[in-house]
């Protein structure tokens, strides 16, 4: 089974919840974890990973380059670039490689053949390791300023599937990025179940509604976990949303000021502070995940 | 002039700082705030206002006139996204979700009128007058669409067109090319982080991006009392940047965040942190 964890808004506790849930079910189920936030991968930190067994470079991203020796400074590429990624610097047209989408329009409209080329560049790296807990983890790091992070996620999942086959693993847990764009679509697509994490604030509610629409697009069953559940007493928005959409709530986790300290210990929260209220809630949620999703 | 609020990791407090900074900076500059976190835009929620003046962001999408198409396959060959597939006889078909709207197919098509201009809705931009004396521009990607870049470009263009003395840009999390598009042309990046290994990891990415783009960065440590600050200080030193503010975890900030009432306008003592930050930014820009 493939489970994706998503939230729309960043910083509501996706990775914290994911790491603890994985920690709690790891002995009973054969699983692989995938950190699909290639823009800002963090899951490995929560499992104390400090070295990778295998790394693969991912190429395929393209950027345009302008040969200044043959460029006639006509400015057509500058006018036609859909993303305004060509700039006029000291009388020369240059491509900003950090914003280029690699579409090739500039190359097509350039009247001097061969002046603008599309060159393949590295878009990032995918990594694999075995955590100290025994299960494998796949992660990725997009190079700064590169597009195509959705492709990176797809590659990660392909690699994970291969490992699942080799090691006869049953479940893939995907920790997705914030937002609703290509990385998240690549994470949600192909999953069997989505677990949404939200906090009781208007901003988080707005964003979780948006990511739920993506989940609906793929017709996947969704569940909700309310994190930092006690920071905004009286806020009904998440309950109303869950009821309206028929999304079962797996549980509520109270805010715990010790969470940053568990991060500093490079451990899942439930391992670092097993007796805390938040850990008790996480254990109940793990049971609910076992009973309602994995069984 | 332009400054950006970014930070790498999500949920560190970018939007909170962006809106409070904007309110505090209105005393120094005539300004626009642009929410370019188009996948999860929240500045309007934190400002307690409803988005207004919706405008669609539409992308070009090829529409084939099969009576004119000569089945040469050039459109399919040129498409970097492989969004055009051809049948055995060369008849092209579009897979709309893959299309980036760049228009390369139309440029390369040898027959006038064989590829017509179709439109695809990608999202919206909004221009909202805030009660705080500055306009808010917001970009919002349509749910189910993958490409944030066209919305970021459209919203930023709209913000720039207002031609105010200062543009404050609030970016998405991460360091991909949509974030660099938002950061582009900034004189200063306020990188908001939290003192955890996760915040630190992602802060380094954004500092690296700032360095690559040649933009000065300052660091704000949010929830500075929940974690280890020394590591952030060390990293800031390594990247030759200043820690410009430290904001302790605060129930008051959380309360005003939830209520959509910016803390900088409140009587709470935390308001001073944002006023001080605005003063530093104003001094730097002047």
Going along chain B from its start, the domains and CATH numbers come out as 2-56+123-285 (3.40.50.300), 66-113 (3.30.70.20)
Contacts of A101 in chain B (CB under 8 A): 100, 102, 149, 177
Domains identified in chain A and CATH numbers: 2-49+131-294 (3.40.50.300), 61-122 (3.30.70.20)
Helix (H, G, I), strand (E, B) or coil at A83: coil
Residue B97 has pLDDT above 90, yes or no: no
pLDDT at B81: 87
Cβ distance A179 to B209 less than 8 Å, yes or no, reads no
How far apart CA B248 and CA B246 sit, in angstroms, is: 6
Show residues of chain B in contact with A8, CB under 8 Å. 39-40
Q: How far is B223 from chain A (nearest CA, A)?
A: 10
Structure tokens given for B279: 């003063």
Between B15-29, B91-105, B147-161, B262-276, the lowest mean confidence (pLDDT) is in B91-105
Residue A15 clears pLDDT 80, i.e. is over it: yes
Q: What is the pLDDT of residues A43-57, one digit of tens each?
A: 999 999 999 999 999
User: With 90 as the cut, is the pLDDT of residue A151 above it?
Assistant: no
Strand, helix or coil for residue A28: coil
pLDDT band at A235 (very low <50, low <70, confident <90, very high): very high
Task: Please give the pLDDT value at position A295.
Answer: 84
β-strand pairing of A193-198 with A2-6: parallel
Nearest CA in chain A to B43: A203
Residue B163: left if φ>0, alpha if ψ -120 to 50, beta else—which one? left
Extract the tokens encoding B140. 């919002």
d(CA A180, CA B147): 10
pLDDT value, residue B203 = 96
Q: pLDDT, tens digit, for every residue of A29-80? A: 999 999 999 989 999 999 999 999 999 999 878 899 999 999 999 999 999 9
Residue A207 and residue B40: Cα distance in Å, rounded?
A: 6
**Position A186 pLDDT exceeds 80:** yes
Total-model pTM? 0.94
User: Is B40–A184 a contact, with Cβ atoms under 8 angstroms apart?
Assistant: no
Share of chain A above pLDDT 70, in %: 99
- Which chain B residue has the Cα nearest residue A98? B177
- Please give, one letter per residue, the 3-state secondary structure of chain B: CEEEEECCCCCCCHHHHHHHHHHHHCCCCCEEEEECCCCCCCHHHHCCCCCCCCEEEEEEEEEECCCCCCCCCHHHHHCCCCCEEECCCCCEEECCCCCCCCCHHHHHCCCCCCEEEEEEEEEEEEEEECCCCCEEEEEEECCCCCCCHHHHHHHHHHHHHCCCCEEEEECCCCCCHHHHHHHCCCCEEEEEECCCHHHHHHHHHHHHHHHHHCCEEEEEEECCCCCCHHHHHHHHHHCCCEEEEEECCCHHHHHHHHHCCCHHHCCCCCHHHHHHHHHHHHHHHC
Q: Do B40 and A180 touch (CB under 8 A)?
A: yes
Instruction: Look at residue A95 and tell me whether its pLDDT is greater than 90.
Output: yes
Nearest CB to B40 within list A15, A98, A178: A178
Tell me if B264 sits within 8 A of B275, measured CB to CB: yes
Which helix (H) or strand (E) covers residue A212, if one does?
Answer: helix A202-217
The complex scores an ipTM of 0.92
- pLDDT for residue A146: 86
pLDDT digit string, tens, across residues B145-176: 988 999 999 999 999 999 999 999 999 999 99
**For the segment B174-199, what is each residue's pLDDT rounded down to a tens digit?**
999 999 999 999 999 999 999 999 99
Strands B115-129 and A249-252: unpaired
Q: What is the CA radius of gyration of chain B?
A: 22
CA triple A136-A225-B224, angle to 5 deg: 80
The conformation of residue A99, written as its DSSP 8-state character, comes to T
CA A49 to chain centre: 18
């Amino acid at each position: 089974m493939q489970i994706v964890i998503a939230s729309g808004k960043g910083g509501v506790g996706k990775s914290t919840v994911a790491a603890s849930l994985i920690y709690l079910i790891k002995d009973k189920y054969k699983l692989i974890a995938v950190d699909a936030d290639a823009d800002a991968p963090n899951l490995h930190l929560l499992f104390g990973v400090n070295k990778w067994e295998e790394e693969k470079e991912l190429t395929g991203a393209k950027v345009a380059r302008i040969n200044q020796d043959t460029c006639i400074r006509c400015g057509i590429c500058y006018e036609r670039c859909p993303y305004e990624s060509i700039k006029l610097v000291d009388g020369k047209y240059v491509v900003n490689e950090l914003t280029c989408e690699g579409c090739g329009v500039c190359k097509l409209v350039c009247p001097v053949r061969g002046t603008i080329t599309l060159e393949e560049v590295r878009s990032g790296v995918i990594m694999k390791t075995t955590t100290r807990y025994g299960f494998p983890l796949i992660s990725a790091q997009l190079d700064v300023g590169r597009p195509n992070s959705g492709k990176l996620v797809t590659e990660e999942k392909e690699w994970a599937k291969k490992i699942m086959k080799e090691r006869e693993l049953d479940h893939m847990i995907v920790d997705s990025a914030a937002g609703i764009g290509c990385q998240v679509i690549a994470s949600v697509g192909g999953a069997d179940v989505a677990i949404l994490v939200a906090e009781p604030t208007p901003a988080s509610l707005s964003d979780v509604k948006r990511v739920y629409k993506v989940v609906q697009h793929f017709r996947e069953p969704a569940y909700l976990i309310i994190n930092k559940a006690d920071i905004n007493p009286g806020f009904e928005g998440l309950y109303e949303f869950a009821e309206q959409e028929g999304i079962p709530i797996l549980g509520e986790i109270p805010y715990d000021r010790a969470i940053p300290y568990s991060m500093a210990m490079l451990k899942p929260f439930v391992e670092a502070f097993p007796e805390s209220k938040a850990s008790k809630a996480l254990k109940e949620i793990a049971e609910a995940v076992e009973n309602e999703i994995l069984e | 002039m332009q400054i950006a609020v970014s930070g790498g990791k999500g949920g560190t407090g970018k939007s909170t700082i962006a809106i409070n900074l904007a309110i505090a900076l209105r005393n120094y500059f005539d300004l626009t705030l642009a929410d370019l976190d188009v996948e999860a835009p929240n500045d309007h929620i934190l400002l307690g206002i409803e988005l207004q003046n919706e405008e669609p962001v539409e992308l070009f999408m090829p529409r084939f006139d099969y009576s004119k198409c000569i089945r040469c396959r050039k459109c399919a060959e040129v498409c970097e996204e492989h969004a055009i597939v051809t049948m055995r006889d060369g008849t092209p078909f579009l897979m709309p979700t893959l299309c980036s709207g760049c228009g390369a197919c139309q440029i390369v098509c040898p027959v006038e009128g064989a590829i017509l201009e179709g439109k695809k809705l990608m999202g919206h931009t909004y221009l909202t007058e805030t009660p705080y004396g500055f306009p808010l521009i917001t970009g919002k990607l349509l749910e189910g669409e993958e490409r944030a870049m066209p919305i970021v470009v459209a919203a930023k263009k709209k913000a720039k067109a207002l031609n105010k003395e200062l543009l404050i840009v609030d970016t998405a999390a991460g360091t991909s090319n949509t974030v660099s598009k938002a950061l582009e042309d900034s004189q200063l990046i306020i990188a908001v982080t939290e003192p955890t290994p996760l915040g630190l990891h992602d802060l380094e990415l954004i500092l690296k991006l700032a360095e690559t783009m040649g933009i000065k960065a300052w660091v704000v440590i949010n929830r500075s009392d929940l974690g280890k600050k020394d590591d952030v200080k060390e990293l800031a030193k390594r990247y030759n940047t200043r820690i410009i503010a430290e904001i302790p975890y605060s129930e008051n900030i959380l309360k005003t965040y939830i209520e959509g009432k910016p803390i900088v306008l409140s009587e709470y003592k935390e308001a001073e942190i944002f006023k001080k930050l605005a003063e530093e930014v104003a001094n730097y820009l002047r």
